[in-house]
Amino acid sequence: MELTFLGTGAGRPSRLRNVTSAALKLPAPSLSVWLFDAGEGTQHRLLQTPIKLNRIDRIFITHLHGDHVFGLPGLLSTRAYDGGVGPVTIYGPAGLQQMVECLFQLSGTYIGYDIQYVEAVEGVIFDDGNYRVEAAALEHRIPCFGYRVIESPRPGRLDAGKLKEAGVPFGPLYGKLKAGEDITLPDGREIKSSDVTGACIPGRIVTILGDTKPCANAVRLAEHADLLVHEATFAAGLEEKAELYGHSTTVQAAEAAKRAGARKLVMTHFSSRYELEDAVQLVDEARAIFPQTEAAFDGAVFDIPCQC
């Protein structure tokens, strides 16, 4: 599982940073890509990565400010040119479907695949047994959501010694046991998966927040997250400005990560007032409170290892 940042700037694109978007690549066997926000220019940034548009099958929009959504119609339109692409499901605040479909209608854009819209509400908005996504409202100038992606626990590794001792023949039965299924051998003996596998491998948690000032839901969504993506529009000392515009500072992002017990914080959504070299100072401010902090930049890829 890895997260690629396609845009890390706030408000408007700059020479150094595109506006907000990030792509979460899920591991095998899924290999799907989930997109979080699609600011202007997102599809251009995708062209600079190995990620293919036809692998994106779910898109999560945090809110309807242009720097988070103006790239969505173009991306969906380009996806239609690939031919043979599967359906896509888009989650986001009320009004998202109306905005996109109105633009398609007025521009005469034809989309040759199914688009399903799911209006984001607080609670579980997706669950296929392998991954669950929870949403919660944040505190910004317009309705805005954060998303918590929870990977289900996986069966532990097979114990070769125990398999040999039990007389399990190598082959398909191994796969069933690995998948957590109990089996019956030809001689009638039942072998329980739990008896020949190690402890379950905990699933990973990735929390991606939209624009927000400090709030309880941000901490709740980030609880024990392996990776927390939190906006840090302003440097420490600009808390009043952050409050005015519904944003957070580096210190406030770090405080949220600390309260949530997150494993790692990646800050993004930086004001265009900051140059790339300013990231060192911004990270230092946050690390004074939460040492496991990094600053995202366009094209950055963060691996999210399992806690094996």
Nearest CA to 213 among 193, 195, 231? Answer: 231
The pLDDT assigned to 84 comes to 65
Is a pLDDT exceeding 70 seen at residue 236?
yes
Nearest CA to 237 among 228, 250, 247, 224? Answer: 250
Is 0.85 surpassed by the pTM of this model? yes
List, by residue number, the catalytic residues: 67
The pLDDT assigned to 30 comes to 87
| pLDDT tens digits for range 5-47 | 999 999 999 988 999 999 999 998 888 999 999 999 999 999 9
| pLDDT tens digits for range 50-81 | 999 999 999 999 999 999 999 999 999 999 88
| pLDDT tens digits for range 171-191 | 888 878 877 788 888 888 998
| pLDDT tens digits for range 84-123 | 689 999 999 999 999 999 999 999 999 999 999 999 999 9
- For the purposes of burial, counting CB atoms within 10 Å of the CB of 186, is it exposed (0-12), middle (13-18) or buried (19 or more)? exposed
Nearest CA to 17 among 237, 278, 230? Answer: 278
The pLDDT assigned to 308 comes to 64
In the chain, what are the domain boundaries?
2-154+201-303, 160-196
Architecture of the CATH domain 2-154+201-303: 4-Layer Sandwich (3.60)
| pLDDT tens digits for range 219-230 | 999 999 999 999
Mean pLDDT for all residues in the chain: 94
Higher pLDDT among residues 80 and 148, named by residue: 148
HEC string for the chain: CEEEEEECECCCCCCCCCECEEEEECCCCCCCEEEECCCCCHHHHHCCCCCCHHHEEEEECCCCCHHHHCCHHHHHHHHHHCCCCCCEEEEECCCHHHHHHHHHHHHCCCCCCCEEEEECCCEEEEECCCEEEEEEECCCCCCCEEEEEEECCECCCECHHHHHHHCCCCCHHHHHHHCCCCEECCCCCEECHHHHECCCECCCEEEEECCCCCCHHHHHHCCCCCEEEEECCECCCCHHHHHHHCCCEHHHHHHHHHHHCCCCEEEECECCCCCHHHHHHHHHHHHCCCCCEEECCCCCEEECCCCC
Structure-token pair, residue 129? 């047994």
The pLDDT assigned to 117 comes to 98
Is a pLDDT exceeding 80 seen at residue 272?
yes
Higher pLDDT among residues 308 and 2, named by residue: 2
Annotated binding site for Zn(2+): 63, 65, 67-68, 140, 211, 269
